[in-house]
Chain A
Amino acid sequence: TQLLEQSPQFLSIQEGENLTVYCNSSSVFSSLQWYRQEPGEGPVLLVTVVTGGEVKKLKRLTFQFGDARKDSSLHITAAQPGDTGLYLCRSRGSTLGRLYFGRGTQLTVWP
Chain B
Amino acid sequence: NAGVTQTPKFQVLKTGQSMTLQCAQDMNHEYMSWYRQDPGMGLRLIHYSVGAGITDQGEVPNGYNVSRSTTEDFPLRLLSAAPSQTSVYFCASSRGGSGANVLTFGAGSRLTVL
Contact = CB atoms under 8 A, between A and B. Distances in A.
Contacts of A42: 4, 90, 92, 105-108
A31 B102 CA distance: 12
B105 A99 contact: no
B106 A30 contact: no
A103 B4 CA distance: 23
Given A42-B92, A97-B50, A97-B56, A103 B103 contact: no
Interface residues on A, range: 20 to 34
Contacts of A100: 45, 59
B42 A99 contact: no
A9 B39 CA distance: 11
Contacts of A102: 42
Interface string B87-106: 00010100001111011011
A9 B40 contact: yes
Interface stretch (A52-60, A73-81, A84-92): A84-92
Nearest to B35: A101
Given A41-B107, A43-B105, A45-B102, A97 B97 contact: yes
A31 B92 contact: no
Contacts of B41: 103
Interface in A1-43: 6, 9, 29-33, 35, 40-43
Listed from nearest, the 6 A-B pairs whose CB atoms lie closest are: A42-B105, A92-B99, A97-B97, A103-B42, A101-B43, A31-B99
Interface of B: 4, 31, 33, 35, 40-45, 48-50, 56, 58-59, 90, 92, 97-100, 102-103, 105-108
22 contacts: A6-B42, A30-B98, A30-B99, A30-B100, A35-B103, A41-B105, A42-B105, A42-B107, A44-B105, A48-B100, A88-B43, A92-B97, A95-B56, A97-B31, A97-B33, A98-B58, A99-B45, A100-B45, A101-B43, A101-B44, A101-B45, A103-B40
